[in-house]
C-alpha cells in the first residue's frame, strides 16, 4: 500500500477488464485516477465507493479533442499527471483476406491511434510536473503472429515499437518520462468471454487456450495489474523502452 501516494493516473478502457482492474489497483496503492472510457455510467457505478479518488470521464481514445479534455481535466482537478495507462483496445478475429479496409482502420484507430494520441497528449502534461510513466497495453500478439489476427497483430506490434520510440524521445530530451509496453497472453476478461461466446464449444476452446500456457492456467487481471503498478511506481525508475511479457511462459 502507498507505493503511488501523491501520484495521479489516467487510465483508458477503465469500464471493464484490464483497465478497470488497473484503475482499482492504482487507487489501492494511493494514486488518484482519472478513469476514461465510452461507458461513463458503468464507470460511475463501478467506482462509486472510490468517488473521492476516481474521476470517471467519457473518453473516446480515437478523438484528439477528447484526449486534450481528459488530460486538461486531470490537471484542473489534481494539478498534475504522473501515470498514463493506455488500456483501451478491441479484438478482431479475421485473416488478411477476410479483413475489410474499414475493419482494419477501426482496429488501428482504437489500438494504435488511441495509444499515439494518449502518449502525445500526456507527454505535454508530464513535462510540466517533472516526468512520469506511460504504460501501453500491447499483447503477445504484438510479438508473434496469428493466422486470423491480421489487423490485431499489426496494431499491437505497432504499440510495441511506438513505445520504444516514445521512450527514446523522452530520454533524449531529459523529460523524466519512462514508457514501456505490457504483453499479456489470454486473460480472464470480458473480451475473452465475448470471444468464447462466439464458438460452439467454449469449454473446449478454453481448455485449448490453457494448454498453450506452460504454467497451466489463463492469466488473471491482477497478474497484469501488478505489473502496471510496478511500472507506475518509482521501483521501475531505470526501466524504459522495454516490453513486459505476462504469458505464463507461452512465448518462451
Alpha helices in the chain (DSSP H): 17-28, 40-46, 64-78, 101-108, 114-128, 150-172, 190-197, 202-211, 221-232
CA pair distance 132, 112, nearest whole angstrom: 21
152 is catalytic: yes
Taken in order 224, 228, 229, 234, is the CA torsion positive or negative? positive
Of the residues 13, 152, 178, 182, which is catalytic? 152
Cβ atoms of 97 and 146 closer than 8 Å: no
Cell of 226: 501488478
Residues 6+ apart with CB under 8 A from 108: 151, 154, 155, 158
Residue 75: exposure state from Cβ atoms within 10 A (0-12, 13-18, ≥19): middle
Q: Which residues are designated catalytic?
A: 152
Amino acid at each position: 500500500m502507498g507505493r503511488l501516494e501523491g501520484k495521479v493516473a489516467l487510465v483508458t478502457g477503465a469500464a471493464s477488464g484490464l483497465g478497470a482492474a488497473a484503475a482499482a489497483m492504482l487507487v489501492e496503492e494511493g494514486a488518484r485516477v482519472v478513469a476514461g472510457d465510452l461507458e461513463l455510467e458503468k464507470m460511475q457505478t463501478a467506482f462509486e465507493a472510490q468517488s473521492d479518488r476516481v474521476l470517471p470521464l467519457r473518453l473516446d481514445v480515437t478523438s484528439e479533442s477528447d484526449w486534450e479534455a481528459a488530460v486538461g481535466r486531470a490537471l484542473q482537478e489534481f494539478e498534475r499527471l504522473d501515470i498514463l495507462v493506455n488500456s483501451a483496445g478491441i479484438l478482431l478475429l479475421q485473416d488478411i483476406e477476410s479483413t475489410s479496409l474499414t475493419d482494419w482502420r477501426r482496429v488501428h484507430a482504437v489500438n494504435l491511434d488511441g495509444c499515439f494520441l494518449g502518449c502525445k497528449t500526456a507527454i505535454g502534461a508530464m513535462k510540466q510536473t517533472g516526468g512520469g510513466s506511460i504504460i501501453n497495453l500491447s499483447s503477445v500478439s504484438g510479438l508473434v503472429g496469428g493466422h486470423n489476427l491480421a489487423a490485431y497483430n499489426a496494431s499491437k506490434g505497432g504499440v510495441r515499437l511506438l513505445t520504444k520510440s516514445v521512450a527514446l524521445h523522452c530520454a533524449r530530451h531529459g523529460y523524466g518520462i519512462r514508457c514501456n509496453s505490457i504483453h499479456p497472453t489470454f486473460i480472464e476478461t470480458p473480451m475473452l468471454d465475448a470471444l468464447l461466446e462466439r464458438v460452439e464449444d467454449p469449454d473446449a476452446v478454453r481448455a485449448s487456450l490453457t494448454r498453450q500456457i506452460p504454467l497451466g492456467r489463463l492469466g488473471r487481471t491482477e497478474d497484469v495489474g501488478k505489473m502496471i503498478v510496478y511500472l507506475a511506481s518509482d521501483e521501475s525508475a531505470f526501466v524504459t523502452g522495454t516490453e513486459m511479457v505476462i504469458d505464463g511462459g507461452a512465448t518462451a
